Amino acid sequence: MSETIKESDMFLPGNKSKIWIRTFGTFDVFLDGVPIRFPSAKAKELLALLVDRRGGSLKAEQAIGYLWEDRAIDKQAMSNYRKVALRLQNALDHII
């Protein structure tokens, strides 16, 4: 049985590179068929959360609740979230 892959027909702005996202089974993002490496597992999890929202909003507190289920939402948790979000943004900026 072949694995189901959800593929977008989106091209990155300014070039002809094709990006697609596998959401069934393991979550992975591919650029021209090559898997994108993420700076951390949490950065990849954060992107998965955002993809799952399909463009909807996600508050920092909600993301923290998903990424660190057993952690209180405090200053340290917010700091960790901001670091992960920045790592994800930098990784995506690098490929676009």
**Is 80 strand, coil or helix?**
helix
Closest CA to 49 of 35, 61, 39: 61
CA-to-CA distance for 47 and 14, rounded, in angstroms? 22
36-80, pLDDT tens digit by residue? Answer: 999 999 999 999 999 999 988 999 999 999 999 999 999 999 999
Q: Give 95's pLDDT tier (boundaries 50, 70, 90).
A: confident
Q: What is the value of pTM for the model shown? A: 0.79
Q: What residues does each domain of the chain span?
A: 39-95
Q: So what's the pLDDT on residue 12? A: 52
Q: Give 16's pLDDT tier (boundaries 50, 70, 90).
A: confident
Closest CA to 9 of 1, 18, 43, 69: 18
